[in-house]
Amino acid sequence: MLPQDFQADLAEIENINIATASIPLTQTSKPLPDLLALERDELKNVVLSFGQPAFRANQIWDWLYRKFAAEYSELGNLPRPLLEKLQGNYRLAPLEVIAEKVAHDGQTRKALFRLWDGAEIETVLMLYSDRATVCVSTQAGCAMACSFCATGLMGLNRNLTAGEILQQILHYERFLINTEDQKLTLGHKRVSNLVFMGMGEPLANYLNLWKAIRRLHDPDGINLSARKMTVSTVGLPQMIKRFGQEELPVNLALSLHAPNDTLRSQMMPISRRYPIAELIEACRDYIANTNRRLSFEYTLVEEVNDTVACARELGKLIKGMLCHVNLIPMNPVPGSSQRGSDINRVKVFQAELTRYGIPNSVRVEMGRDIQAACGQLKVAQDGKHSRLSQ
Ligand code: SAH
């Protein structure tokens, strides 16, 4: 049972809808329940209810989360009656790929998936020499309407289920395991890191997010270390505090993007509801509870939030906190006249932050040529079908 006050917080967050999706979902009949929705003990009970011994649940778990079976035909050594029962009651199917793009350097791949009800989401794989990182979506669309974000243009369709979140990682686990050509995988056989920085606001889908994280962490399954996962949030103070009380040490990144409420409200409407002071207080609470370094993300938009005055104000705001600032020159968004800061402005901004003693780095951009920033591939595809203009 969730504590009452957290239930109230969740209800408040779920009510935030600055931008509702204008594109309706194509309602098809609801499919069977997703096999990936089942927790391990639930799966065991299902297996027992089918008159099969409990160890069969362990075998299935192994197929799903260690061997990455995508559909029933890939589940070996199970008795046929059990398979038939499962198949008749639970759906097991990979996400449907609508489009997949590969950056010209081959190190970034991005997939656009269609879900059972027509909702569309994006997932990105970024390959580096020392890690293979998947950028995961937690909602179809987003309710937060940040001015510089392509997903923000779409509005919110719906929360993803834990199964839909997991499927994105499983998609790229399968790709890495099944692809022999090292030029395509840089030799990676497994996904090593996750960033919840795809479509949507992860903390507005808090319970499904954590259900997925616990499954991803499960040592008998995908077995990803919590420290290799980062959740990025627009900044929902109650949820940030709650995040700091979770058992698993998952990293938190806060999309700050502006050092004062006036500017931040122009870029991020959510700031009108939760002022920066409240946000920073929640961050301090998170740091005190976890003793973990918090990341601040700061997307640099030319002449908007990249001035020396902004850098100084930011320096004063977060000086002395256990934190790191990621500076990200804005990726261009179709239809927007705003531009990312050029490298000289980035360097001046960075130097100012360093003067305040604030650890920082400029995030290397990957996949610009495949619209890898949040929501961009979907917007590009929609443009092709001219759905946004309907
Ligand atoms: N809703 C969450 C996670 C999704 S966005 C959040 O707000 O953090 C992930 C990150 O990408 C955020 O820091 C977001 O501000 C940033 N982002 C969105 N659009 C961008 C763009 N066009 N250029 C650079 N960064 C962008």
State in Å: Cα 331 to ligand 1 middle.
Answer: 10
User: What is the helix (H) or strand (E) element at residue 48, kind and residue range?
Assistant: helix 40-49
- The CA distance from 147 to 330, in Å, is 11
Task: Report the nearest atom of ligand 1 relative to the CA of 332.
Answer: 22
Residue 328: CB within 6 Å of ligand 1?
Answer: yes
- How far does residue 330's CA lie from ligand 1's centre (Å)? 9
187 among annotated binding-site residues? no
Average pLDDT over residues 364-389: 53
CA atoms of 184 and 5, how far apart (whole Å): 48
297 lines ligand 1 (CB under 6 A): yes
Task: Locate the ligand 1 atom nearest the alpha carbon of residue 198 and give its number.
Answer: 4
228-264 residue pLDDT tens? 999 999 999 999 999 999 999 999 999 999 999 999 9
* Confidence at residue 83, expressed as pLDDT on a 0 to 100 scale: 97
Least confident of 94-108, 251-265, 276-290: 94-108
How far apart, in whole angstroms, are the C-alpha atoms of residue 61 and residue 368?
Answer: 37
Specify the pLDDT at position 23: 67
Per domain, the residue ranges of the chain are 4-26+95-389, 39-89
CA gap 162, 209 in Å, rounded: 6
* Active-site hit among 283, 310, 323, 374: 374
- Amino acid 365: pLDDT: 66
Mean pLDDT for 80-88 is 97
The one-letter amino acid code at 176 reads L
Mean pLDDT of 256-282: 97
Q: Is 283 annotated as a binding residue?
A: no
pLDDT at 390 > cutoff 60: no
Q: Is the CB of residue 233 below 6 angstroms from any atom belonging to ligand 1?
A: yes
From ligand 1's centre to the CA of 342, what distance in Å? Answer: 18
Q: Which letter, b or e, does each residue of 196-220 get, where b requires 16 or more Cβ atoms within 10 Å of its Cβ?
A: bbbbbbbbbbbebbbbbbbbbbbee
Q: Is residue 146 a known part of a binding site?
A: yes
Q: Of 125-129, 160-164, 337-341, 365-369, give the lowest mean pLDDT range.
A: 365-369
Phi, psi at residue 355, to the nearest 5°?
Answer: -60, -30
Give yes or no for residue 388 having a pLDDT over 60.
Answer: no
> Percentage of residues in the chain with pLDDT exceeding 90?
81
pLDDT band at 140 (very low <50, low <70, confident <90, very high): very high
Reply yes or no on whether the pLDDT at 79 is more than 90: yes
What is the average per-residue pLDDT within 164-190?
97
Residue 296 has pLDDT above 90, yes or no: yes
Q: pTM here?
A: 0.93
Query: Any binding-site annotation on 200?
Result: yes
| pLDDT score of 28 more than 90 | no
Spell 343-352 as b/e; 16+ CB within 10 A means b: eebbeebbeb
* Average pLDDT for the chain: 92
Q: 3-state class of 122 per DSSP? A: strand
- Which residues contact residue 15 at a Cβ distance below 8 angstroms, ignoring those fewer than 6 apart? none
Q: What is the pLDDT of residue 379?
A: 58
pLDDT band at 153 (very low <50, low <70, confident <90, very high): confident
pLDDT at 103 over 60: yes
> Is the distance from the beta carbon of residue 234 to the nearest atom of ligand 1 less than 6 Å?
yes
User: Residue 376 above 70 pLDDT?
Assistant: no
125 is in an annotated binding site: no
Which ligand 1 atom is at minimum distance from the Cα of 232?
A: 8
Interval 119-135 mean pLDDT: 96
Q: Measuring from atom 3 of ligand 1, which residue has the nearest CA? A: 197
Rg (CA), the chain: 21
Residue of 299, 331, 338, 376 to test ligand 1 pocket, by largest number of atoms within 8 Å of CB: 299
Ligand 1: distance of its center to the CA of 10 in Å? Answer: 22
Q: Which two tokens stand for residue 4?
A: 């009452």
Same fold, 4-26+95-389 and 39-89: no
Judge whether 201 is annotated as a binding position. Answer: yes
Query: Catalytic annotation on 323?
Result: no
Distance 151 CA to ligand 1 centre (A): 9
**Which tokens is 110 given?**
């991005």
Distance 149 CA to ligand 1 centre (A): 6
Q: Looking at residue 1, what is its pLDDT?
A: 67
- Whether the per-residue pLDDT at 344 is higher than 90: the answer is yes
Query: Average pLDDT for residues 32-58, to the nearest whole number?
Result: 98
> Is any ligand 1 atom within 6 A of the Cβ of residue 148?
yes
Instruction: For 199-209, write each residue's pLDDT tens digit.
Output: 999 999 999 99
257 is in an annotated binding site: yes
Selecting from 1.10.150.530, 1.10.10.10, 3.40.50.720, 3.40.50.300, what CATH number does the domain 39-89 have? 1.10.150.530
Instruction: Tell me, using a 6 A CB cutoff, whether residue 205 lines ligand 1.
Output: no
Average pLDDT estimate for 332-352: 92
Whose CA is closest to atom 20 on ligand 1?
A: 149
What is the CATH superfamily name and number for domain 4-26+95-389? Aldolase class I (3.20.20.70)
Confidence band for 313, pLDDT divided at 50, 70 and 90: very high
Is the shortest distance between the CB of 197 and ligand 1 below 6 Å? yes
Give residue 95's pLDDT band: very low, low, confident or very high (50, 70, 90).
very high
What pLDDT shows up at residue 366?
61
Residue 331 DSSP symbol: P
Q: How far is the centre of ligand 1, averaged over its atoms, from the C-alpha of 235 (Å)?
A: 12
What's the confidence (pLDDT) of residue 220? 96
Instruction: List the catalytic residue out of 120, 122, 164, 173.
Output: 122
